[in-house]
């Protein structure tokens, strides 16, 4: 009876199937004339670092800051975002190379768009750098095998989350850090407490996301603009990582009001290169939207910004009515079966009761 529907996690395998050419509708859906509407949402989910944190952030002397940068890069290589999407999002997403999602001016695909701190271009596609390279960076950061080079103490990092998270994904994330011998501690709180930690700079690692308000690169690049830092702005900013790079800030000021042009694209590319090196976000991914449309639905088009599109849809009412009548005929045989079972149980009882009644009558007559 639905015209359009999303696909729930539990029913995902009933609606679509994975094949050599990607994700497609199941045979049952195809037989019913259902079509699949796929799009990359104009959004970015990210695994952020509080750059004010003394252990992993951009703090201390130039040498200390460089070591912490290598620590962040090592973690970014070890964290397998593609596996997370496959296991926990039913494959509905793609690994990001930066803040800007596909479909927004400034996004670059192919070899030119890869995050060279984390990926290499191999056989025409990006490939995550090896775990050996991550371990080398970790040792250069002062934590060989995940332990402090001088004290020998294990490195423990904290992921601040809201309460009620999935135990399975938390265990998976711990394993990602364990690849480098690093212990990940989950610090779960309620949302209000989590927000307070973010606004005061008391979080260390966190996960967050942003969906576009308007289709422009500025709407994503401002997530890393220094003046928008949550601590600096008193909690009102969108820069949850509190990232503050002078060159990035200067380029953002120049870029934000420019018309789309080759010059603006070059500035954005430079900004992304700065972010890729500094690594305020360990990983990003862009979610995919999957919508099922019945055959009587017309005039739909994926729209990543506005939600007020219902008025444009067209419905072939006659086709819908015919299909609903065909697919929803009452199934009567279970009712008939119940009646037969009741009769099968009841008739012997009725016959036995009648026999007892006859016996009583005969006994009285005698």
Counting other chains too, the contacts that 262-267 makes at CB distance below 8 Å and 24 or more residues apart are 264/105, 264/106, 265/105, 265/106
Confidence bin at 8 (pLDDT 50/70/90) = confident
Across-strand partners of 36? 292
pLDDT band at 245 (very low <50, low <70, confident <90, very high): very high
Q: What gap in Å lies between CA 131 and CA 54, rounded to an integer?
A: 25
Average pLDDT over residues 120-124: 92
**Residue that wins the pLDDT comparison between 6 and 99:** 99
Average pLDDT of the residues of the chain: 91
Whether the pLDDT of residue 164 is over 80: the answer is no
Half-sphere exposure at residue 331, Cβ-oriented, CA atoms within 13 angstroms: 5
Find the range with the poorest average confidence among 25-34, 139-148, 265-274, 277-286. Answer: 25-34
Q: 366 pLDDT band (50/70/90 cuts)? A: low
* Tokens (6 digits) for 196: 């307070």
Tokens coding 259: 């018309």
Contact present, 200 and 190 (Cβ < 8 Å): no
For residue 40, what pLDDT is reported? 86
pLDDT at site 165: 62
Q: What is the mean pLDDT of residues 91-119?
A: 92
- The pLDDT value recorded for residue 365 is 67
Instruction: Specify the pairing of strand 281-293 against strand 43-49.
Output: antiparallel
Sign of CA dihedral 170, 176, 178, 181: negative
Q: What is the CA radius of gyration of the chain?
A: 30
**Torsion, Cα of 37, 43, 45, 49 (10° steps):** 170
Q: Which of 11-20, 34-43, 263-272, 337-346 has the lowest mean pLDDT?
A: 11-20
The model's pLDDT over 294-320, given as tens digits with 9 standing for 90+, comes to 999 999 887 777 778 888 899 999 999
């Amino acid at each position: 009876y639905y015209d359009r529907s999303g696909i729930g996690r539990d029913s995902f395998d009933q609606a679509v199937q994975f094949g050599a050419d990607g994700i497609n509708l199941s045979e049952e859906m195809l037989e019913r004339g259902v079509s699949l509407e796929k799009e990359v949402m104009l959004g970015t989910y990210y695994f952020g670092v509080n750059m004010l944190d003394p252990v992993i952030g951009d703090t201390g002397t130039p040498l200390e800051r460089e070591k912490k940068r290598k620590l962040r890069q090592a973690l970014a290589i070890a964290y397998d975002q593609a596996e997370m999407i496959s296991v926990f999002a039913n494959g509905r997403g793609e690994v990001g190379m930066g803040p800007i999602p596909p479909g927004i001016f400034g996004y670059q695909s192919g070899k030119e768009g890869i995050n060279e701190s984390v990926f290499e271009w191999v056989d025409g596609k990006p490939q995550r750098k090896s775990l050996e390279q991550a371990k080398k960076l970790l040792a250069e950061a002062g934590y060989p095998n995940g332990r402090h080079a001088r004290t020998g103490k294990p490195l423990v990092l904290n992921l601040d989350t809201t309460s009620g998270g999935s135990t399975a994904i938390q265990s998976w994330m711990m394993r990602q850090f364990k690849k480098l011998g690093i212990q990940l501690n989950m610090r779960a709180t309620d949302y209000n407490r989590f927000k307070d930690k973010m606004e005061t700079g008391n979080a260390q690692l966190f996960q967050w996301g942003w969906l576009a308000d308007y289709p422009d690169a500025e709407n994503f690049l401002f997530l890393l603009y220094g003046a928008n830092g949550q601590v600096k702005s008193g909690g009102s900013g969108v820069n949850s990582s509190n990232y503050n790079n002078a060159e990035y800030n200067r380029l953002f000021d120049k870029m934000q009001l420019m018309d789309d042009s080759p010059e603006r694209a070059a500035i954005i590319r430079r900004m992304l290169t700065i972010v890729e090196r500094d690594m305020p976000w360990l990983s990003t991914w862009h979610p995919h939207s999957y919508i099922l449309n019945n055959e009587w639905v017309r005039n739909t088009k994926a729209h990543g910004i506005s939600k007020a599109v219902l008025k444009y849809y067209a419905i072939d009412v006659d086709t819908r009515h015919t299909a609903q009548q065909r697919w929803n005929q009452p199934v009567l045989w279970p009712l008939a079966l119940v009646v037969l079972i009741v009769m099968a149980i009841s008739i012997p009882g009725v016959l036995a009761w009648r026999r007892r009644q006859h016996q009583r009558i005969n006994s009285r007559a005698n």
